[in-house]
Amino acid sequence: PPVLAIVGRPNVGKSALVNRILGRREAVVEDKPGITRDRVSYRADWNGRPFTLVDTGGWEHDALGIDASVAQQAEIAVDLSDAVLFVVDALVGATASDERVVKMLRGSGKPVLLVANKIDDAHLEPEAHALWSLGLGEPHPVSALHGRGVADLLDAAMKVLPEKSAVADDEFTGPRRVALIGRPNVGKSSLLNKATGTNRAVVNELAGTTRDPIDEQVEIAGRIWRFVDTAGIRKRMHRVEGADFYASLRTAAALERSEVAVVLFDVSDEISEADIRIVQLALDSGRALVLAFNKWDILNDERRIYLEKEIERDLAHVDWAPRVNISAATGRHLEKLVPALELALESWDTRIPTGKLNAFLQELQASTPHPIRGGKQPRILFGTQAASRPPKFVLFATGFIEAGYRRFIIRKLRETYGFEGSPIEIGVRVRE
């Protein structure tokens, strides 16, 4: 579905508007700037039309000056959305910081609707009219808190949102989508440059505006791949405080648009907490996963031994992900990325037929039954694969299946079916 982003200074009422649009009663509105919410986007619909709502309210960060924050969030939001709701507190009027963001929004080529918030009743409407001066067209007066004007605003938003999103395509058709992620300086842009430079890169401009493409298609070893949010990689974050935070935000957004994540590591440097956090973002996203160890050209023997130890210690939880050792600088083994990506995606796509799965579950329980708890032994009666991408299994059981046994099932699933490079989810329903 098309993507609608909500942008604005802290405290203008973005969260209230998000809650109103999502139809949430328990409005999680706090009158304090800098509250970090963890979700980036939500599914929403208006009059039966689905869209994705991107809430930048959670992007505010104490470490940043407010101006830098709003400008950056707006920039990212514009890249990743089809249309923008720019929210202004009509009772305060436009501030200097608002004006800077407006300039960027106007140059973006994306449709922008100006939302004049806090117009709680009709006699406040002149305050909204004053915002014509921003040059974003007609202000839409709303009261996010009370709901006034929000229906009209959404009607207007549906008119400017395209039928088909230019930035998001959850059907995942066409070349497979890769998110190239990793902390700053691990070599993401070098890898991209090498791949687009040495391969007969198709590199046509995709999504975003043509002036500002956000994805690139690259041919590696005879196959075309779509690298998502290359704009985020090529643009590089400025070295401002809080850049890490924006990098994670961008990473989460890129993951959402991808099918497989390549987490890039710099082997000349220790595996750090930042690396682990990025692996976690990839895991949380449920995407297929490949680990790429870059700068192999400058790895010496001493460091190599440490690296192996670090991998054992810090990446044991993703020992199912294919690993490739590469050098973006020399181009070494870049072509090995392809089979790794293919393997991970194949696992991610896998569907196990119900008959086979149940034979597997019976056999597994016959050889290793669930431990007896409180005099009872929970049994799995039946299982089915409820989803792929990533594979998700639902098990119907006579009692609570404990975490250790679930992990055991996952391990056995991997031993039996591979699933290399794909996370596996298991849900249990207890039948009395």
297, 342, 420, 425: residue in contact with ligand GDP (rule CB under 6 A): 297
Told to check if 237 binds ligand GDP by CB under 6 A, we report: no
Q: Which token pair is 104?
A: 């960027």
Region for 207 from its dihedrals, namely left if φ exceeds 0, alpha if ψ lies in -120 to 50, beta otherwise = left
Question: By C-alpha distance, which of 282, 257, 348, 261 is closest to 1?
Answer: 257
Please name which of 387, 396, 395 lies closest in space to residue 426, comparing C-alpha atoms: 395
298 binds ligand GDP (CB under 6 A): yes
> Is residue 358 within the footprint of ligand GDP (CB under 6 A)?
no
Identify which of residues 8 and 187 has a Cβ nearer to ligand GDP in the complex: 187
Torsion 25-31-32-33 (CA) sign: positive
Name residues contacting ligand GDP, limited to 306-345 (CB under 6 A).
Answer: 327-329
Q: Which stretch binds ligand GDP (CB under 6 A): 111-119, 180-188, 251-259, 317-325?
A: 180-188
- 314 known ligand binder: no
Q: What span, in angstroms and rounded, lies between the C-alpha atoms of 248 and 273?
A: 13
E-strand stretches of 271-338: 288-294, 323-325
Q: Which C-beta is closer to ligand GDP: that of 148 or that of 188?
A: 188
Site string for ligand GDP, 189-218 (x = CB under 6 A): xx----------------------------
Which helix (H) or strand (E) segment holds residue 428: the answer is strand 425-430
Return d(Cα 354, Cα 401) in angstroms, integer.
20
Q: Which residues contact 138 (CB under 8 A, 6 or more apart)?
A: 114, 132
Positions 362 through 421 that interact with ligand GDP (CB under 6 A): none
Six-digit token string for 68: 């830098």
Q: Which range binds ligand GDP by CB under 6 A, 97-105, 240-248, 291-299, 310-318? A: 291-299
* Residue with smaller CB distance to ligand GDP, 53 or 328: 328
Residues making up the annotated binding site are: 8-15, 55-59, 117-120, 182-189, 229-233, 294-297
Provide the binding-site residues for ligand GDP, judged by CB under 6 A: 182, 184-190, 233, 294-295, 297-298, 327-329
Residues making up the annotated binding site for GTP are: 8-15, 55-59, 117-120, 182-189, 229-233, 294-297
